[in-house]
Amino acid sequence: MALIPRLDVAALDALPLDPLTKGLPYDGPTMRVGDVGVQDWSVLDGDLPMPVAVIRQARVQANSAWMAAFTEANGLLIAPHGKTTMSPHLFDLQIADGAWAITVATVQQMQVCRRFGVRRVLMANQPIGLQAVKACFAALQDTSFELYCLVDGDEGLAQLAEGARLNPPPEDNPLRVLVEVGFSGGRTGARSRETALTLARAIAATNGLMLSGFECFEGLLPTAEAADGLVNEVATLARRAIEEGLLSRDHPIVVSAGGSAFFDRVGERFNAHEFPFPVLRVLRSGCYLTHDCMGYAAAFERICRQTQLALPPGGLVPALEVWAQVQSVPEKGRALLTMGKRDVGFDAGLPIPQYWYRPGSDMAGPQPMSQGYKTVALNDQHCHLELPVDSDLQVGDLVGFGIGHPCTTFDRWSLLMMVDETYRVVRAIKTFF
């Protein structure tokens, strides 16, 4: 399968940054995104206000390479979910490592991809409403741009059919549609095999649309075993549709699934099915890129323990941290830091204090935080940290926090800092939430 071209990072780096952007030094001049990396700023030396969200370059590159090796070794493709980072800089890293497409959840996210040159987008969602449907068909007028999206019912299909009628796509660039397969009590997705097949037939018969396969999102299921069942259903449906002649070998056929928790099971199940001709098995994990210290860390441990797939050397490591400064130690056993709900996600657990550094000291670099430090609360702009009795944490000290569920930390920042292993800023990471 042809790779998609690298992105126009120069256009991104040329964007001006409002000096009011959270994360930039105060009272600085207006600079461009690309200027940030040449300022020689050091997080540890206090060149940046706190809090600051940092991405460790070596780690994020290693994660991207690991996933590329993993998918290649197992006959899979990856269309990384872009909603996690909404950062074209990071999309470009993923594309350089062989991503088949970028996945998005919304039309606004698709537009961000288009602006910076993503040539293939998988919208893992059903476009609904005048604005969304119109934008999809407008995008297809550019025949160098390829769009896959989902449908899970007649109403959604009717909206796409009407969109295609009003604004027909070029004959060689139809809207490629995957039928979404769901489960009772779950999110979107057809609830039965028969519903999904009926829908597939209707899509195949609609002008301007091309039935391209089936998909599911198994990430909300409670266990790997439950995920297996849903993924099997997707593969079974694809086989049935091929047998029925609804899917042709003249165009790419896709089966897809995948959050970041069960991507091994997705690969195993897809690989267990045989198809009469080539089918693209597409994972859509997004969180693997920066990984985390909580739920995805645990999920990856299970994967490494259980999977039958080939595991490349190394593995995923947490690459996203938020650093904050101790603002007050108002009583024994408690410190308050300059980081709050505005700065870090908390839906998968409170951030974990992991590193510690005292600016102006002779410390060689950040030290691992010893036992007994624990985030006990977040307010909008404050972090309440419990300290062990013998702590000598002081006002002005820096603490680096590990996070859970990267999506809800990324979306608190329109600008993150990519750093080297000494926490010097090597480039700005612009996001578009």
**Binding to a second copy (CB under 8 A): which residues in 15-54?**
19-20, 22, 25-27, 46-50
Query: Which region among 206-214, 288-296, 307-315, 329-337 touches a second copy (by CB under 8 A)?
Result: 329-337
With CB under 8 A as the contact rule, the residue among 346, 356, 373, 401 that binds a second copy is: 346
Per the DSSP assignment, residues forming a β-bridge with 256 are 215, 282
Q: What is the phi/psi pair of residue 370, to 5°? A: -75, 175
**CB of 254 within 8 A of CB of 279?**
yes
Give the sign of the dihedral formed by CA 125, CA 126, CA 132, CA 136.
positive
Between helix 193-204 and helix 154-166 the angle, nearest 10°, is 10
Answer for which of 2, 172, 184, 194 binds a second copy (CB under 8 A) is 184
Please choose, out of 262-270, 296-304, 361-369, 380-388, the segment that lies near a second copy by the rule CB under 8 A: 380-388
Which 299-328 positions form the footprint of a second copy (CB under 8 A)? Answer: 325-328
Q: Which of 341, 358, 374, 424 binds a second copy (CB under 8 A)?
A: 341
- Burial (CB < 10 A; 0-12, 13-18, 19+), residue 307, is middle
CB of 123 to a second copy, least distance (A): 11
User: What distances in angstroms separate CA 381 from CA 221, 291, 341, 400, one per listed residue?
Assistant: 33, 24, 6, 16
Select from 67, 64, 61 the least CA-distant residue to 267: 67
Contact by Cβ (8 Å): 239, 280: no
Q: C-beta of 207: minimal distance to a second copy in Å? A: 21
Closest CB 371 distance from a second copy, rounded Å: 22
Minimum gap (Å) between residue 151 Cβ and a second copy: 9
**Shortest spacing between CB 305 and a second copy, in angstroms:** 27
Nearer to a second copy, 101 or 326 (CB): 326
**Where in 232-271 is the site for a second copy (CB under 8 A)?**
none
Site for a second copy in 111-170 (CB under 8 A): 111-112, 115, 125-126, 128-132, 134-135, 138, 152-153, 155-156, 159
Q: What b/e sequence results for 17-37 when a residue is b if at least 16 CB atoms lie within 10 Å of its CB, and e otherwise?
A: beeeeebbeeeeeebebbbbb
Can residue 14 be called a binding residue for a second copy (CB under 8 A)? no
**70 or 346: CB nearest a second copy:** 346
Which CB atom, from 153 or from 315, has the smaller least distance to a second copy? 153
Residue 326: both structure tokens together: 């101790």
Task: Name which of residues 58 to 87 contact a second copy (CB under 8 A).
Answer: 83
Q: Which residues pair with 416 in a beta bridge?
A: 429
